[in-house]
Amino acid sequence: MAVTFYSSEDAGAPQIQTTRSGSNNWQCNIIEIFDAILITGYGSKPGMGWTKLMTSEIEDSDRTVYQNQSTADENMNLIVQSHIVRQNGFMLQIADVVNSPEDYEHYSDVISTMPARAGYPVTWYAVGDERTMILILSDTYSQNVRHDYWDMYYPGVIYAGDMDDPNGNYPKPWCILGPGSYTGKIDDVEAAGSVYAPGVMGFSASHTAITKTRRPVTQVPGEEWAAADCFWFMLSCESTSYFSNKSEYQIRTPEVFTNNTRIKAPWFFVLQQNYIFQLRGVYNIYPWITSGYSSTAESRNWLVKLDAFGEQFFAFSKDLNRADDYYSPMEVYIQLTGEW
């Protein structure tokens, strides 16, 4: 399906802002951002075609439920709320049954994130359609300030919605992936310490096995729902320990990347080692382009539009400690144009 690309840098796009709520807690305008992306659009860009199902009636709460237009028999419910404790923070969760924004059943873990360093403006990007949304968060520090630990300052990425089911017979083929995963419901993690973009959708090699036993889905095939972990991992053609940072082997500029791309490999989501789904719009492209073409502040290659196979992509760093922080291969490419 044709996708639409959105950016806080667009004319008329809403910006992430933080205020104090009536109860003197932090509250960001994440619902305004999601309304624009999923429902109303802005400027010349339409919304993705989701439905705004309901909004909380509790005072000072902005908790809102959105629903995608899934190819499955049912639609996925996405619950969103700004974080009442953490500045700029917000929380998301998916659920199969929603009676009200506060009363829902058969849910995933909560994604809780704080998408910026304190004092630095947030830049957001989003791409998707009526089935799936990918939200990308960064800030001026990560993009413009020179630091020696690039592996600690990735863009934060959230994937919510349908996956493609190769067998075409799983009734709820959706998931939610992102930084800062917590068990329970949104009310259980409101005071939890939010995480600042510690990786990309669980792709980071620094994630341990326990991270991959969280619950990014609402239902495991063949099982009665329970608020229990399930085993999952990502699968694509990745780099190895034999990766070299020799300049003659590497691609460090978008121009060279465009002229040398050869293979586009999908990223797959593997559940319980028996079920496999393809993430929509997420690929690995060969040969890789590096995280940066030099160790200066202006050298980052992530969040740069890259042309390949007649479409545009954003690439993200996946630090495998194979070479160094500047010249590690980027292995996650989000397709920004065309059809997913």
- The whole domain housing 302 covers 4-335
Helix (H, G, I), strand (E, B) or coil at 252: coil
In sign, the C-alpha dihedral spanning 57, 109, 19, 137 is negative
The proportion of the chain whose per-residue pLDDT surpasses 90, expressed as a percent, equals: 51
Average pLDDT (29-33) is 95
Q: Would you say 306 and 257 are in contact if contact means Cβ atoms under 8 Å apart?
A: yes
168 by Cβ neighbours in 10 Å (0-12 / 13-18 / 19+) ranks as exposed
Q: Is residue 260 part of a domain?
A: yes
**pLDDT at 208 (0 to 100):** 44
Residues 273-297 have pLDDT tens digits of 889 999 999 999 999 998 887 665 5
CA distance 176 to 302: 22
Q: Would you say 181 and 159 are in contact if contact means Cβ atoms under 8 Å apart?
A: no
Average pLDDT (43-56) is 97
Q: Is residue 242 part of a domain?
A: yes
The predicted model scores a pTM of 0.92
Q: Is residue 340 part of a domain?
A: no
Nearest alpha-carbon partner for 21 in 12, 13, 31, 11? 31
Distance of CA 314 to the CA centre of its chain: 12
Per the prediction, the chain carries an average pLDDT of 84
Q: Is residue 111 part of a domain?
A: yes
**pLDDT at 196 (0 to 100):** 39
Q: Is residue 227 part of a domain?
A: yes
In the chain, the number of structural domains is 1
Classify residue 338 as left (phi > 0), alpha (psi -120 to 50) or beta: left
Q: Is residue 292 part of a domain?
A: yes
Joined tokens for residue 181: 């995963």
